[in-house]
Structure formats: structure tokens, C-alpha cells
Chain A
Amino acid sequence: MMKNWWKFLAVILLTYVTLFSLLTPLVPGGLSVDINEINKGKNTISFTGYNTHFLEGKTDLRGFISIGTQWIEGRILSVTDNAKFQFEVTLPDTLPSTQVAFYAYTPQDGAIYVSSAVGFKDITIDETKKLPAIQTNIEKEEHQPWGFPFQPILFETIRNLMFHVPMWFTMFFLMGISLVASFKVLNGKWEKDIVAVASAKVGLVFCVLGLITGSIWARFTWGTWWTRDPQLNGAMIVFIVYAAYVLLRNSIEDEQKRARLSAVFNIFAFILMILLLMVMPRMVDTSLHPGKSGNPAFSKYDLDSSLRTVFYPAVLGWAMLGYWIYTIQKKFELLKQDKHAQ
């Protein structure tokens, strides 16, 4: 019982992770505005938010347009529901900037915005133009509800961070065990080959799960099951190389020879994995994958550490589960070896 304390810990961690990754709300965010051209005079804007409280905070609801660093407040026309309201902004014929963003403010949600590229009609841009100064109180407002960051395109799928990413951490952990065992094999302890193959097999399972979950996530955010991205192609090559390790081993009859040869292959496979998954995607500048060269990691949006409080236990929990499965796989490999020796 006490010997298996870490298995209980893994169960507790994964229960915590599953519950909180699904129950933590997303902070309110701006979804869209229905306008793509602003003109001189009156503009009616319909603002759509996500997880917002426009109707509940109706009395304090305010709508703004920001132009560069200056602000124009609108007049609230109507509030449809908690996620939608309409406001009217009267614009002069000269504006100081082409950088336009639409803001909504309620005390519950704080200030949320939609930045959308808009065209200008009958409006000239003059950077020296000073608009009448108004009191927005938006910058002063530090209150933001606790929750996972709201990101356009991602929305609720940001929760996949706790499921897709730990698959790869677990794979790295198990391939690390495999690497250490392979070094031991080359140092003469060829019976450690069992450890190397068992952990590589379980690591491969997590690799497959990482590939499938990543593909599903990509389909509904990037819009495609697979794309020619250095991170994705690298992951596929790593899968093929480790699958080759597991399959080709069987073609060598002599046990000691098999142990030594596959140990060398395994060390090269690990180096390749580090290069393809950690180094290469950061060197090119075209990777779509967050955390590599093109897109920032989610930690950039995680201002209140709400993601970290679930993500770190998730990595630990999944890695422990991976190790647990590896111990079972090792028992099976030992059993198979004994059977073979008889």
C-alpha cells in the first residue's frame, strides 16, 4: 500500500486536472463587431461578447471606440442579451489614427475589446488631430474575473492544453527512461534492454495519442487535420523512427546482439527527437504551433496563472500514469523473455 503511494497521487492529480480543466470558466472576451467600415457622423455598432454580462450590468454598460491612443464614447442603443448590445458612435471628419478597436465595459467583466480592421468613409487621417479628452476609467480598471484566458479562434479549446501537451511531456519522460537504459546496455548490462523497449513502447502510445489529439485540435482551430508545419512533420518522423525501433528489434535473433544494436539506434532516435521537436521548430520562422517560433506559448496570456495551476499538475499526473503503464509493460516483457528462455 505505502509502496504504491505515487499511484494514488497520480489518480488524485488526474482527477483534479480533469475537473478543473473543465470547470474553470473562460474570462469574458470580445467576439466580434458587425461593422467593417466607419463613416463620418453616426455609426451603429453591434458588439458580440463571450461569457459577458451586458444585460446584468446594463446600467453600468459603456461602449467605446479607441482610435490610436484616444477614445470616443458611444451611446448605448439597446442590449439584446448578456452577449450582445448595440451602441452608436458619432465620429468627426478627421481621426488621428487608422488603429481602431471597439471596447465594451461592465463592472463584472472589466474592459473587453474587439480589434477589427475597418475601412474609412468620408474620414481623413491626421496624426496631429486631438479628440476631446474623455474619462474612460478603462485603464484604471484592474479587476478581471479569474479564469482561463479568452483567445480568438481557440475559445474553449484552450482546455486541450491540459490533455494534448502532457501527452508529449509523458513521451519525452518515457523516452528519457529508455535512453538511460540504452546507455546501461552499452555499458555491458544488456538485461536493461527490457527497460528500454518497455518504456519506448509506452512512449510510442503517448506519441500516437499526442498526434491524434493534436490533429483534432488543429482541425477546429487552424481548419485542417494536418499541415506542413515543422513541429507536426517532426512529430510524425519521431513516431516513425520509434515505431521502427520497436518493430526492427524483432528481426535480430541473438538477444545480446539485439540489445546492443537497438541501444545504439535508440540513442540516435532520442537525439533526433530533441532536434526535431525542440530545436528545429524554433529555428524556422514559419511554425504555426504555439510555443515555437511563429506563435507565443499560452503562458503569455496566462496573466493570473489560472492555466499554470492546472497545467503543472497535469504534466506530473500524466507522466506518473505513463510510468505506471510502463511498469506493467515491463512485467509483460519479462514474462515474454522467461517464456522464450524455457
Chain B
Amino acid sequence: MLNKIICTVAFLLTYHLGFSQSVLEETFYRSGKINVVIAVILVILVGLFVYLFRLNKKIDQLKK
């Protein structure tokens, strides 16, 4: 399930990036590039949360 979601998101992202490079540039070059910082913080948060959720799930499975 998780793999399917990741694949879909990755596909949509690459699809989107390929066709709207200018939208990407506009978003991230605006206002002194502050959105780059927001993106970096979100990547770290999402990355750690995904990792912790998976670990939690594995521990639950072991305890059963």
C-alpha cells in the first residue's frame, strides 16, 4: 500500500516537474527563495515521520 502511494506521488511529481519547470522556478525563486527553506524543513519532517511510522509498525508486528 505504502509503496503504491510513494510510486504514485513520485510519478506525479516527475510528470509535473517535466511539464512545468517555470511554475517550479517561480515558486522557489520568489520572496528571496524562502520556499526552498520550507521545502527542506518539510522533507526532513516527512522523512523522519515515515521512518518512525514504519519502525512502529515493525515493532507491532514483532509483538504479535
**Is B3 close to A, CB under 8 A?**
no
**Is A131 close to B, CB under 8 A?**
no
Q: Secondary structure of the A side of the interface?
A: helix
- Count residues of B near A (Cβ-Cβ below 8 Å): 22
Distance, CA A339 to CA B59, complexed state (A):
11
**Is B9 close to A, CB under 8 A?**
no
Binary B-proximity of A1-36 (CB < 8 A = 1, otherwise 0): 000000000000000001000100010000000000
Q: B63 near A335 (CB under 8 angstroms)?
A: yes
**Other contacts beyond A155-B32, A213-B40, A328-B52: 12, CB < 8 A:** A26-B32, A156-B37, A160-B36, A160-B40, A163-B41, A167-B44, A217-B40, A219-B28, A220-B29, A221-B33, A325-B48, A335-B59
**B residues apposed to A, CB below 8 Å:** 28-29, 31-34, 36-37, 39-41, 43-44, 47-48, 51-52, 55, 58-59, 62-63
Name 14 A/B residue pairs within 8 A (Cβ), A-sorted. Answer: A157-B36, A159-B37, A160-B40, A163-B37, A163-B41, A167-B44, A205-B48, A213-B40, A216-B43, A220-B28, A220-B33, A325-B52, A328-B55, A332-B58
**A residues apposed to B, CB below 8 Å:** 18, 22, 26, 50, 154-157, 159-160, 163-164, 167, 205, 208-209, 212-213, 216-217, 219-221, 325, 328-329, 331-332, 335-336, 339
